[in-house]
Structure 1
Amino acid sequence: MPDLKILAISGSLRAASLNSALVRAAQKFAPSGLSIEIYEGLRDIPPYDSDLDGDTPPAVATDLRRRITEADGLFIATPEYNYGIPGVLKNALDWASRAVAPAPASSLAGKPIAIAGAAPTNFGTVRAQLALRQSFLWTDSKVVGKPELQIFRAHERFDSSGNLTDETTVDLLVQLLDALAVKIRETQAAAAV
């Protein structure tokens, strides 16, 4: 059976982002059978403008949609800004959620998704993850319910080079990725019927 293709997106642009480190950790600790590609184009996506989203949308938006469509699932690691989703991540999801020709539905429609986040505080990703889950209701994305992965006091769980060193957190990350693989296979089986 070929590897399941996962597109991993960090909701942070900061060079030393703990959420970008979490995406790299997902790639490093991916269970057998998962191939994780890290999306690096978040900074380049223009603000969503339906006037630009016609026959020739911006190439970076088309690329994001294509990559999501081609992936079997998504892994999103998000920080929390002002009790919500970072604007750059929400903007990317707005581009991805739009129906595009010739496809009849958005690239997020029915897409299996795992959500995680890392923060230096005790609750810094909880509300952002909740807001993401709410956004994915509209796209009918298949979000993994459990386990939830909110890495609190994350600066204590990664070393100075951004490597995830906390074994409990690694175990939870692997469990989340395993649950994503199960969700993907369930979604694929349902679509094949």
Structure 2
Amino acid sequence: MSVRILALVGSLRSGSHNRQLAEAAVRHAPEGTTVELYEGLADIPFYNEDIDTDSAPASAVRLREAAGRADALILFTPEYNGTMPAVLKNGIDWLSRPYGQSAVSGKPTAVVGTAFGQYGGAWAQEEARKAAGIAGAGVLADLKLTIPNAVARFAETHPADDGEITGQLVEIIHRISGQVASAAAA
């Protein structure tokens, strides 16, 4: 069984360590699993029910379609002022609508990330898990990867070249794939 995982990154910065972490997931995805790094969260307008009509913005429709094609998701989030970035929350909001038709409904979803601080963005990850769960995703709360002190840890090493980090990412991807397979067998 081939498993497709959609990766959403909550940082728009070109040198984002969370983007690099997502790139590591793409590069090290085990055989039979594809991790697709979604491009375009920055292009989606803030959620507004007035524009979420039959002619919703094309950027929001593309996000929903990408999530619809995916079997699972991984959300990569930094921590901004103790919570997830607005761009990630906005993506989750668009995916949750229209009401009762969430594009992530029941899909296994993990939240991981890295941050400058000593706790690795744990608060942001908890907020992202909460929002994704309310949006209908099947949040895998036991799958956690919080990497503190990102600036120092990744100053000279891309996360894809950090054996400890890639090992943990691969384990998370395996467990997500297992959840997808279990759901398909049920």
With normalisation by structure 1, the TM-score equals 0.89
Aligned to 1:40: 39
The answer on whether the counterparts of 1:72 and 1:111 sit within 8 Å (CA) in structure 2 is yes
- Give the counterpart of 1:181 among 171, 177, 180: 177
Q: Distance in 2 between matches of 1:137 and 1:105?
A: 14
Aligned Cα root-mean-square deviation (Å): 1.7
Q: Deviations over 1:56-89 (max 9, x none)?
A: 1000001100110110111111001111110011
Q: Establish whether residue 64 from structure 1 lines up as the match of residue 63 from structure 2.
A: yes
Aligned residue in 1 for 2:107? 111
SS at match of 1:82: coil
Q: How many residues align?
A: 186
Moved more, 159-168 or 57-66: 159-168
The answer for the alignment partner of 2:146 in structure 1 is 150
Shift of the 164–121 alpha-carbon distance from structure 1 to 2, 3 Å rule, reads: farther
Paired residues for 1:80-119 under 5 Å: 80-99=79-98, 105-119=101-115
Residue in 2 that maps onto 1:128: 124
Deviations 1:125-149 (A, max 9, x none): 1001101111123233112233310
Q: TM-score scaled to structure 2, two decimals?
A: 0.93
CA distance in 2, matches of 1:23, 1:68: 16
Instruction: Give the letter for the 2:26 counterpart.
Output: Q
Q: 1:188 to 1:108 in 2, by over 3 A?
A: same
**TM-aligned CA deviation for residue 24 of structure 1:** 0.1
The 4+ residue runs of structure 1 with deviation greater than 4 A are none
